[in-house]
Amino acid sequence: MIVVPGGGHARREDPGVWAEIRRGTLPRALQVAPRKGLTVSALCTGVMLLSAAGLTRGRPCTTHHKARPDLEQQGGILKNARVVDDGDLVAAGGITSGLELALWLVRRELGADAGTGVEAMLEYEARGTVWTR
């Protein structure tokens, strides 16, 4: 599993997502990562790095609300959900959706009891919509 964080979408200089997209190293690495059994996930504007790698084109996804127009323009199929699970591609919306992404992945990979246990440990209850195919 790869989890790509976001940040820096609102500004074009270093550090941040735009600088990483310009640099090209991360998008290329994501593009060529072996796919068998791999889940690639991202939160907030980290989804834009997945988009730069071509991984969201024609796929259900979401990102931070300010980056949604860019993601859609680049071919992502936007879903109105905090987490969008399309199998080997899992995307989460804005900053706090990172908690939702983590809890969803624990629940998905380890089961409902593990997810509930992590929620209790964090003293946080998952909220909002998880879209799945």
Residue 3 pairs in a beta bridge with 41
User: Out of 43, 44, 53, 91, which one is annotated catalytic?
Assistant: 44
Do 100 and 124 meet the contact criterion of CB atoms below 8 Å apart?
Answer: no
Rounded to whole angstroms, the Cα distance separating 53 from 1 reads: 16
Query: Cα 108 to the chain's mean position, in Å?
Result: 15
Q: Decide if 61 is catalytic.
A: no
Which active-site residues does the annotation give? 44
